[in-house]
């Protein structure tokens, strides 16, 4: 569900890489074959206070349990499940996503509503349009967490800067003509760490050129042999709301089973607990 926050140490020539070389390196990141995590999500309207964003009212808090695993013949597909543990009124609500490596296949997404015992597939409003809606009521859109296909964009290295003491490439991505109607964003501006190809910041612009969202990736550490951002902040400049996602526990490469991603685990809590209980003990 969260792969864009991880990077890869990659050898490059002495000259600056091209935009496509940068995204190719980012695409080869190692985030482990499997992951288990517990994350805290806070969402609130914000206001500026002493030059910083602060919640304008009490944030909505959710605790989310997640698993993900590489799938497919070459291990390049991926499947993930996310469950709400808290608040109790939303416990059991779940999101499932399957990502395809093949360029022709788009990510498939489903939302499970325990009160209705119904699994609903998330689709766009039109066959040629982007998905709308947000994950668990946050400012993270369904489109934001789809796996982007590299050939759906053109890439340009537009600068080099320093962010939080890190030397970064500044990259501009623009959807190709055939993909423009399928995305809400007309341009993406990314700040990528030069040494390990970690994303440290992402700006998403609409087709009219206005800034819609900014993603900040903070507290990046090596954990279990991979690099991961422990904190993500999503600022929606149009709704004046923000969501913060903080990592509380993580297990890298636990022994996950295919059965953990079956739809049965969505409406059979006892079955889900039986499968996940041993994995929880591994998370730190």
Predicted TM-score (pTM) of the model is 0.90
pLDDT of residue 279: 94
Find out whether 213 and 203 touch, Cβ atoms under 8 Å. yes
Q: What is the pLDDT of residues 205-258, one digit of tens each?
A: 999 999 999 999 999 999 988 999 999 999 999 999 999 999 999 999 999 999
pLDDT of residue 3: 40
Average pLDDT over residues 177-181: 95
What separation in angstroms does the CA of 278 have from each of 10, 45, 71, 282? Answer: 35, 38, 21, 7
pLDDT of residue 100: 93
pLDDT of residue 6: 33
Give the whole-angstrom CA distance, residue 115 versus residue 118: 8
Find out whether 9 and 196 touch, Cβ atoms under 8 Å. yes
pLDDT for 130 beyond 50: yes
**What sign does the dihedral 103-125-98-224 (CA atoms) show?**
positive
Give the whole-angstrom CA distance, residue 76 versus residue 10: 19
pLDDT of residue 262: 94
Q: What is the pLDDT of residues 15-59, one digit of tens each?
A: 789 999 999 999 988 889 999 999 999 999 999 999 999 999 999
Average pLDDT over residues 168-188: 96
The region that residue 240 occupies, defined by phi over 0 for left and psi between -120 and 50 for alpha, beta otherwise, is: left
Strands (E), the chain: 34-49, 52-55, 60-71, 77-86, 94-99, 108-113, 118-122, 153-163, 166-175, 187-193, 199-205, 211-223, 226-236, 241-252
Q: How confident is the model at residue 272 (pLDDT cuts 50, 70, 90)?
A: very high
Place of tokens 């040629």: 128
Q: What is the pLDDT of residues 147-169, one digit of tens each?
A: 999 999 999 999 999 998 889 99
Find out whether 22 and 28 touch, Cβ atoms under 8 Å. no
Q: What is the pLDDT of residues 181-201, one digit of tens each?
A: 999 999 999 999 998 898 999
Instruction: Return the SS3 of 39.
Output: strand
Backbone angles phi, psi at 4, to 5 degrees: -70, -10
């Amino acid at each position: 569900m969260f792969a864009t926050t991880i990077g890869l140490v990659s050898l490059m020539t002495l000259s600056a890489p091209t935009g496509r070389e940068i995204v190719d390196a980012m695409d080869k990141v190692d985030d482990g074959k499997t992951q288990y995590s517990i994350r805290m999500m806070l969402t609130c309207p914000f206001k500026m206070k002493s030059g910083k964003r602060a919640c304008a009212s009490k944030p909505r808090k959710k605790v989310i349990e997640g698993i993900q695993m590489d799938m497919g013949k070459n291990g390049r597909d991926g499947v993930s499940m996310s469950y709400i543990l808290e608040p109790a009124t939303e416990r059991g609500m779940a999101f499932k996503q399957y990502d395809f490596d093949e360029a022709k296949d788009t990510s498939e997404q489903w939302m499970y509503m325990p009160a209705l015992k119904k699994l609903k597939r998330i689709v766009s409003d039109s066959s040629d349009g982007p998905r709308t809606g947000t994950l668990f009521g946050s400012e993270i859109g369904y489109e934001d967490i789809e796996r982007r296909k590299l050939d759906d964009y053109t890439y340009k290295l537009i600068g080099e800067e320093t962010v939080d003491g890190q030397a970064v490439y500044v990259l501009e991505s623009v959807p190709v003509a055939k993909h423009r109607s399928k995305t809400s964003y007309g341009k993406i501006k990314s700040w990528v760490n030069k040494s390990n190809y970690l994303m440290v910041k992402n700006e998403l612009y609409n087709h009219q050129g206005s800034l819609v969202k900014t993603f900040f990736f903070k507290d990046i550490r090596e954990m279990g042999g991979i690099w991961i951002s422990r904190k993500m902040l999503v600022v929606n400049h149009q709704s004046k709301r923000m969501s913060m996602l903080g990592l509380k526990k993580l297990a890298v490469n636990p022994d996950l089973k295919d059965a953990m991603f079956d739809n049965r685990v969505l409406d059979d809590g006892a079955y889900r607990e039986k499968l996940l209980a041993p994995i929880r003990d591994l998370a730190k």
